[in-house]
Structure formats: C-alpha cells, structure tokens
Structure 1
Amino acid sequence: MRLASLCENQGVGDQVILGALAVTLGVAVGVLLFVPFVALSYRRSGGFGFRRFVVWGAALVYAMALWTYTLLPLPDPDALRCAGTGLDPFAFVDDVRAALGRSSEPLRDPAVLQLLLNVLLFVPLGFFVRVLWGRGIVIALAVGLGMSALVETTQLTGVWGIYPCAYRVFDVDDLLTNTLGAVIGSMVALAVPRRHWGVPKFVDAEQPTPITRSRRFLVMLCDVIGAWLTAAAVALVFQLALYALGADAAVRDGSAANVVGDAVSIAVWFVVVLATGRSVGDLAVQLRYTGGPLPATLARTLRFAGGIGGYLVLSALPGAWGLVAAAFAVSSVGVMLTTPDRRGLPGIVSGQRLIDARDLRETDAANPRPPAGPGR
C-alpha cells in the first residue's frame, strides 16, 4: 500500500474526510457492540472497566482507519488507471540509501516517508494484539503479515474482481514493512503492565459487588441503546419490505416503519422483564429486583412501567410526549440517585429491592432445598 504517494495524490481535505469516516464507523460499531461488551465484562471480570472499553474503542477506530486509508476512496471505473507491482524484496533499502545520498532532509523524501508510514500504520495492530489478546511477538508478526497480505491482495485483485485490474500498487516490500510495524507495536506494548494484557478472567467474578451510581447508569444506558437499536433494525427491515412489496408512496414515508419498530422494541423489553424480572440492562450488569408483597407477574409489570418500559412508551407517542419522556428520564435518574440501594422508580412502584444477581446464586448454594420426601 503506497501510503506516501497516496498522501501526495489526496488533499488534506480528503485525508480529514477519511479520518472522520474511520471515527464515525468505529463509533457506530462500538454502539452496536456496547451491550454485549458490558455483559461479557461483568461475566469475565465481575465489572465494567472504562479504560479497557476505551482501548477496545480505539482498536475499532484503528480497524476502520486501516480500511479507509488503504482501500478508499474507490476509483471511478471510467477513469481507472491500472497500477503495477513491485516484486523485488528489500528494494526499499536501495531507495532509502539513494534518498540519504541526494537529500539534506531525508525525512521529507518520498522513499523514506513511504517506509516510515508503512511501518507506523501497523504499529497499533501489534500493540492491540498484545494488550487486547494477550499474545506476543510471534502472533503479532503472523497477524501483521496476514492483515497486510489481505489488504495488498484486495488491492491487487481490484477489490476481488470489482475492478478489472489493481488500482493501487502491490509491493512485496509493503508486506515486510507492515509486518515490521506490527512487531514494533508488540514490543511497545511491553510497557503496559502484564495484568492488563488479554481479556482478564478473575476468580472472584461471580462474587457480588456494590450497586454503585455508575453501575445503575450503565443499566439505563444499556437499556436505551439496546431498545433503540432494536427499534431501528425492525424499522429498517419493515421499510425494505414495503419497498419490495411495492407499497404506496404514502405508506413508505417511514412513519409506519417507525411505529412498528417502536412497538416491537417495547414488546421485546416487556417480554424479557416479564419472563426474567430483569431488563436487558439488568441482565448485562448482573442486577435483579427481588422480594416485595406483590405477585411476581404484577411486580414485574410495574417494574417495567417504572423503568425502561415507561420511557419507551412515552418516547413512542407523538408530539409533546417527547418532552414528557425526557422529564421521565430525568426524574428516573434523580430518584435512582436518592433511593436506597439505587433501586429507583422500578423498585418503588414494584415494592421490590435491588440486589446483585449473584447474591441469589450464593444464597441458593448455601441453602439448598431439601429433597422431596414420600407423599410430597
């Protein structure tokens, strides 16, 4: 991947656009994976590590940047100019020597700049391989070589046949310099303490932990993001179905799809709460409502109405109901901050208390039910 020549051929504005695209795509993927990430964190490490979340977010943005800067922008097929290939390994050594001999500022020479950019591009990959996967230099070398080969082959084949020929130069030296960058990144990651490598699995991950404000905020965030994504996905599928079926233009304006998406999202969250007593956010963050004088079905229905269910219903209503939904959300946060054990409105309306879900497993293990005797 000829990054130096690529930077020369593209203006600063193009580079900024590609960078913004990488960040946008990385954030979008991060939102899609947020709830599963939180759930996995609580089950493997017993909690949610914000710093580790930031590192994973950075890895997502890097992955998008690797794609955008090496493959985009795609050329206009009518203006395509086929690129050549460089099959002479270590040709960059002679290029750098020549640059050092002819230039008083070698770092500005395209040959040197090409080498440095190809190395630097893959340094984050080696870093993430060690810090996020807990793997060393050998794996970083293999992953770097494999990823570089994938990018180079994609370019060489014209994005696997979309274009009749390669639109960027395939160079075996790029494989070498990219792989070197991954190895350097793995070595840089040695500065990170070993306890932060890989995906930690703590022995006490199944032990209950305090119900903090941040933990309850995380429940709310997981519920809102999960419900919004569910509604958006259903609305998109419904809208595509309307187009495929040739529905009248007035029906395809998006309003019907939004109504269906909101309705399905509300129904899914209600069924989950009714079946488990917990919202999706509670399940992800390992919380549970328990006790209370009401029958379980009624308590769970009220718990739904006093929590994410009430917010989703109000948000789905037209007009000024959006302001009511916002007021409901603000009130929910305020009540959560001031009630014992952070139980909030769901705990008040259902008459239940909020506990760590792992408390029940611990109680059940300590007090097993006696076996049923004869005649029972």
Structure 2
Amino acid sequence: MHQQLVSSVFIGLLLSAVLFLPLTAWHYRRFGRFDGLRLIWSCAGFTYLTGLIAFTIFPLPSSEQCTGQMTRLVLSPWRVLQEIQQILASEGVMAALASWTLWEAVLNVILFVPFGLIACRVFEAPRPAVFVAAVTASLAIEATQYTGNWGLAPCPYRVADITDLLTNSSGAALGILLERITPRLLSSKEHLLAHRDRARPVNRGRRLLGMVLDMVYIGLGTAVGGSFGAVGYMALEFTPGHALVPEQMLHLQESITAGAWTASLLVIILPAMMGNGASLGQRTVYLAPADLRRRKHVLRAFNVQGVLVCALFNGLPTVLLVPFGIVAAFTAALIIPRGLSYTIAATPICDSRAVDAASQSSADREMTGIGPGEAAS
C-alpha cells in the first residue's frame, strides 16, 4: 500500500507538471485570469485519479501466484458486519478495532471522499450527478477487479465485493457533505465568468508566463516544421529498399533545419501581422501592445524572439548567445513588466481587453457621429 501511495503521488505530480502550462492557458481562456487555488485543486484531482487507478490495479500478480487462483464475487452486503461480529465474539473489542476487515471498509470510505469533494468543489457538478458518477466509478472498479483488469492481467486476482460498492458510495456522499459545510476558498465559476472580460493590471508574473508560453509555442512550431521538412525530403528523395547515403543524410538534415527555422519564424511573425499584434503567448494571457502601428508590432516580435531563433539555427558561434539572450529577456521582465522586446520597440504593453474596449468605444463613436471630445446629448 505504501508503494502504491508513493507511486500515485509521484505520477500525479508529474502529470500536473506536464499539464501545468495547458491548464494555465485553459484557465486564462475560460476565466480571463490565473486562479492558483483552482490549479492546486486540479493537481490534487490528478494525484487522486492516479491513486485510484493504482489501488485498483496494482500490485499485479506473478505467474506463480496465478496458479489455481480465481477471483470471487461477494454479493452479501453484510460481510463486513458479520466478520467483525465474529472477531468481537472470539477475540474482543481491541482485536476487532485492529482487524483488517474493519480498516479495509474504512479505507474504502476514505478513498472516495475526494471524489465527491473535488467533483462538487472544482467542477461544480450537481450533487446527484456526482453521487451517480461515484457509484458508476465504483462499479467499474469492481468489474475491473473481477475480470482481472479486463483480461489484461495474468489472471483474475482480486475479490469483487458489493460491500466495497457500498463503502465507496458512502465515501462519495461524505465528500459531497464536506463540500457543503467547508469553506469554499476558491472563486466559483459563476464569479470568474462574470469578471472574465474585465481588464487587469499587467504584472511581472503574467508577463513571464506569457514569455514561457511563447517558448512553448515556438518549440511546437519548430517540431512541426522540422517534421514537415523531413517528410517532404523523404517523399522526394527516398527510394524504398535503399539506405540514405551520407550526402542524402546531410540534405535531410538541412531540410529539417530549414523547415524548423521557417515554422518558428512564422510562429513569431504572423501573430504580429494579425489582430492586435500580440504574440501567441501574450494572447493566451490577454496581453497586447498598446501601440496600434503594425511596424511596431513586427519590430517587437523580431527584436528578441526572431533574433534568438535566427541565432539558434545559424549554428556556431551564434547559438552560444541564445542562453544569454533568454536570461536577459526574463531578467528584463522581472525588472519592468514591459520587458525587453517592448522596451526596444518603444511600445507600451497593456491588457488586451482594454485595447478591445477602446476599439469598440471608437467604433461606437464613429457609428453615432460623436467625436472623442464630445458628449452625447
């Protein structure tokens, strides 16, 4: 059990780390801002899910343990009570309190408390639906154990017990009750959605997050571009049944580099030529240049990101300058939220919702014929 607990926590935290940026991006697009507590609850949910899987499936039996082993289906809902009563009669109260039969039932209740709590608190699902989902999940667990992980295990090795279904359901009901009586501690979806379109101050954390997301988007573009370069070259030059000669390998490498370089530059330049001119990472966290001139947008996009990408793909010695450029960019953002690229382009940065509101206000004035300094009569 200790190994299952440690493994589930480790895998849950690893999964949370991998999904941190996608979750953060989703929070911004869904709610208009970063909600740290909601993200912590999500990480807890991942850890819980991996733990549920670990306790359902592991440890797997060896082939020696499978000799003559068959699963059992226990349909008596009174099994736990009967076994505890027998222990009480034969060994006394202390033996009953220390028995595995009692603690197995208690742990099965505890196992599903987070199910009801997280589903109601984070996803804000209706409580009856959460309870039905918990019962369904418990049924799926018992079916998995009865069938030996649906035939994937060496043999059926767990007992499928209706008592587990009852204790799991009780744990989910307890989690739902705890959600009602404990402090919320995080904003509701209704509150977040109501303030989704409100512009917020540009702080250092938000600016740095946008920069990290930009690196991710550029990395994804580089991978896609390099893949297209490789596939394109192989489609034209590769002959089935023949290995690539050294000269062809060199050309393949050049094709991959050209595809990756082109795609990464497109990820940088195209957003600057479209819409409000913000990079993909800045758009994700609702940041944008306040200067509406397109040449300023292109200069902002290329003066740091474009230069670093060109240095990266230009080979030695310029590639050695890339780490220093990245450190300089992040350091500048720590000092002033505008950052290095906006400072070089002499462009202020703001919340993109403020730009959208100003554009909408200007459009409304044009439609009604009211000038910037006039008042409606």
Q: Is TM-score (shorter-chain normalized) higher than 0.5? A: yes
| Number of aligned residues | 352
Residue 303 in structure 1 maps to residue 306 in structure 2: no
Aligned to 1:114: 104
Aligned to 1:345: 340
**8 Å contact 1:99–1:111 — kept in the other structure?**
no
Offset of residue 234 of structure 1: 7.5
**8 Å contact 2:121–2:184 — kept in the other structure?**
no
Residue 325 in structure 1 maps to residue 322 in structure 2: yes
Aligned to 1:268: 267
Q: Please give the secondary structure, in 1, of the residue aligned with 2:349.
A: strand
Indicate the percent of aligned positions where both proteins have the same amino acid.
22
Q: Please give the secondary structure, in 1, of the residue aligned with 2:11.
A: helix
Amino acid at match of 2:23: L
Offset of residue 363 of structure 1: 1.6
Distance across 2 between alignment mates of 1:100 and 1:20: 39
Structure 1 residues 167, 284: CA separation in 2 closer, same or farther (over 3 Å shift)? same
Structure 1 residues 139, 302: CA separation in 2 closer, same or farther (over 3 Å shift)? same
Aligned to 1:3: none
Q: Please give the secondary structure, in 1, of the residue aligned with 2:274.
A: helix
**8 Å contact 2:145–2:156 — kept in the other structure?**
yes
Aligned to 2:45: 59
TM-align CA RMSD? 3.9
Mean alpha-carbon deviation: is it higher for 173-182 or for 216-225? 216-225
Aligned to 2:77: 89
Residue 168 in structure 1 maps to residue 158 in structure 2: yes
Mean alpha-carbon deviation: is it higher for 225-234 or for 254-263? 254-263
Distance across 2 between alignment mates of 1:309 and 1:77: 58
Q: What's the TM-score, normalizing by structure 2?
A: 0.77
Q: Please give the secondary structure, in 2, of the residue aligned with 1:196.
A: coil
Residue 159 in structure 1 maps to residue 149 in structure 2: yes
Offset of residue 56 of structure 1: 1.3
2:27 to 31, 34, 37: 37
Structure 1 residues 198, 76: CA separation in 2 closer, same or farther (over 3 Å shift)? farther
Q: Please give the secondary structure, in 2, of the residue aligned with 1:170.
A: strand
Offset of residue 256 of structure 1: 8.6
Residue 358 in structure 1 maps to residue 353 in structure 2: yes
Mean alpha-carbon deviation: is it higher for 301-310 or for 58-67? 301-310
**8 Å contact 2:13–2:43 — kept in the other structure?**
no
Residue deviations 1:60-107 (CA, integer Å, cap 9, x gap): 221122122212344557864432221222322223333444352544
Distance across 2 between alignment mates of 1:238 and 1:108: 65
Structure 1 residues 180, 214: CA separation in 2 closer, same or farther (over 3 Å shift)? same
**8 Å contact 1:136–1:186 — kept in the other structure?**
no
Amino acid at match of 1:70: T
Mean alpha-carbon deviation: is it higher for 321-330 or for 48-57? 321-330
Amino acid at match of 1:288: A
Distance across 2 between alignment mates of 1:171 and 1:372: 72
Q: Which runs of 5+ in 1 are unaligned?
A: 1-6
Amino acid at match of 2:270: V
Aligned to 2:366: 370
Instruction: Give runs of aligned pairs for residues 1-376 of structure 1, distance below 5 A.
Output: 7=1, 12-13=2-3, 15-42=5-32, 47-75=33-61, 80=66, 81-101=69-89, 102=91, 104-135=94-125, 137-163=127-153, 166-189=156-179, 190-193=181-184, 196-198=187-189, 200-228=191-219, 264-276=263-275, 277-291=277-291, 296=294, 298-314=295-311, 324-339=321-336, 342-368=337-363, 370=366
Distance across 2 between alignment mates of 1:257 and 1:71: 46
Distance across 2 between alignment mates of 1:124 and 1:362: 42
**8 Å contact 2:201–2:351 — kept in the other structure?**
yes
Q: Please give the secondary structure, in 2, of the residue aligned with 1:151.
A: helix
Q: Which has the larger radius of gyration?
A: 2
Amino acid at match of 2:274: A
Q: Please give the secondary structure, in 1, of the residue aligned with 2:288.
A: strand
Aligned to 2:375: none
Structure 1 residues 269, 16: CA separation in 2 closer, same or farther (over 3 Å shift)? same
Q: Which runs of 5+ in 2 are unaligned?
A: 235-239, 370-377
Offset of residue 132 of structure 1: 0.6
Structure 1 residues 230, 89: CA separation in 2 closer, same or farther (over 3 Å shift)? farther
Structure 1 residues 124, 163: CA separation in 2 closer, same or farther (over 3 Å shift)? same
**8 Å contact 2:60–2:153 — kept in the other structure?**
no
Mean alpha-carbon deviation: is it higher for 203-212 or for 173-182? 203-212
**8 Å contact 1:289–1:354 — kept in the other structure?**
yes
Distance across 1 between alignment mates of 2:164 and 2:106: 11
Q: Please give the secondary structure, in 2, of the residue aligned with 1:166.
A: coil
Amino acid at match of 2:177: M
